[in-house]
Structure 1
């Protein structure tokens, strides 16, 4: 059962797991314990959506699972273990923007599930605004976490301090806007593919959570 579920995951995700396992073995041989921890943490965290979804009876689109795995691979393994955050100034921007879009989508889907798929339970702009606020709030909480780590444990997660924090929040707002906009256009019946396509696929394969979908 365990292995069958893993084999059913997207090829991209399985390829990332394979490279991470190779990295774990190499790091064990070289006794690079931090790298071992980061690689193992990436593997376990990227597997969590699969088992979380099964636990609650939710089916996740394969590209959604692949996107989460790719993000974790990029932010934890490449970003932290291989210093991509320091090597490439735009890496942090890319990660924050991607996370904000993802949280915007998740926020919208959560709201839509609460309404059981009723497109007319609230104005489209209101549901999109809630999704936007959900995403930006998570981004702000992350910045508070970074500040707490720097102050209490002498870390340097904020890099350049206020400037880094403000740019992160600006990128979070932009990313959240894209995620919320996808929900808005979906409610308006405009299938633009991409993010709206992910929403449509999620709703289609989880119809039991959207019993009022399509009703007037």
Structure 2
């Protein structure tokens, strides 16, 4: 007699999910209400670019719930709240409220958090595969930590590619410029060789254009995005390393890592066996 494959239990609806996650639901409602207020204000100010950004933010705020339903996983409350706050801080506070320029460390803080979150997501994907009966995987904690780190850094690099593309095509200055007072370049070598010529004590830069000379008055040389990109990747590296270490020890002591458990999704329970034993120890290293 042919066995019928047991289907997983249906996922809870939005109302039930709100009852099960009251804190997440409260944060979501407050952020969504705030975004709508900002969108209305931007509409009356005829700033339609920011209106579109608000619409995009409303869509992004739905991502955690969409991922839960499509991948049949359960996001920990801590991870879901941080994702929601990250989206709001990046799009509404950072772009529309101009926190990126008002607070010097705002961009650095978000990129560090991005590295941490992306490492958590990458680690979770591998962890879910590692514990799923349909995949014959038995990955070591070290390998899972390395994959999480590489996943986070890849996302960081792809984002920098996106920023550079937008700057080159639309001059949006997403890679924020920096002011430096010392430069070294082989292009200044009068012999045309490869000897870098160092110029120190730069106090201003004058642009020579078809309309005339324009002194920038910035107090130094204008670095076009390079230092910002390297800083973003450096802090992304820090966030990725921190979570990779946390994830490593979480797998080494499955079920005992209370802190890591707040950032690692769980597979939704089903009527049939879907995952390996939660306490099953992977190959140790």
Quote the offset at 1:109 in angstroms.
0.9
**Alpha-carbon displacement from aligned partner over 1:42-94 (angstroms, at most 9, x marks no partner):** 11111122023212322222222211110000001110011111111100111
- In structure 2, the residue matched to 1:121 is 138
**Residues 83-108 of structure 1, C-alpha deviation per residue, up to 9 Å, x if partnerless?**
11111110011110111101101111
Higher CA-based Rg: 2
* Higher share in strand: 2
Tell me the residue number matched to 2:42. Answer: 27
Give matches, 1:10-159, under 5 Å: 10-116=25-131, 121-159=138-176
Higher helix share: 1
Structure 1, unaligned runs of 5 or more: none
TM-score by length of 1: 0.87
Quickly say closer, same or farther: Cα 1:159–1:125, change in 2 above 3 A: same
SS in structure 2 opposite 1:155?
coil
8 A Cα contact 2:115 2:239, kept in partner = yes
- Once residues 7 and 123 of structure 1 are traced to their aligned partners in structure 2, the CA distance between those partners, rounded to angstroms, is 36
1:131-161 CA-to-partner distances (Å, cap 9, x unmatched) read 1011011101111111111112222111121
Question: What's the RMSD between the two structures over aligned residues?
Answer: 2.5
Q: Distance in 2 between matches of 1:211 and 1:100?
A: 29
Structure 2: any 5+ residue segments left out of the alignment?
A: 1-11, 178-224
Please report the TM-score for the alignment, with normalisation by the length of structure 2.
Answer: 0.67
Aligned length: 213
2: CA distance between counterparts of 1:189 and 1:43?
Answer: 38
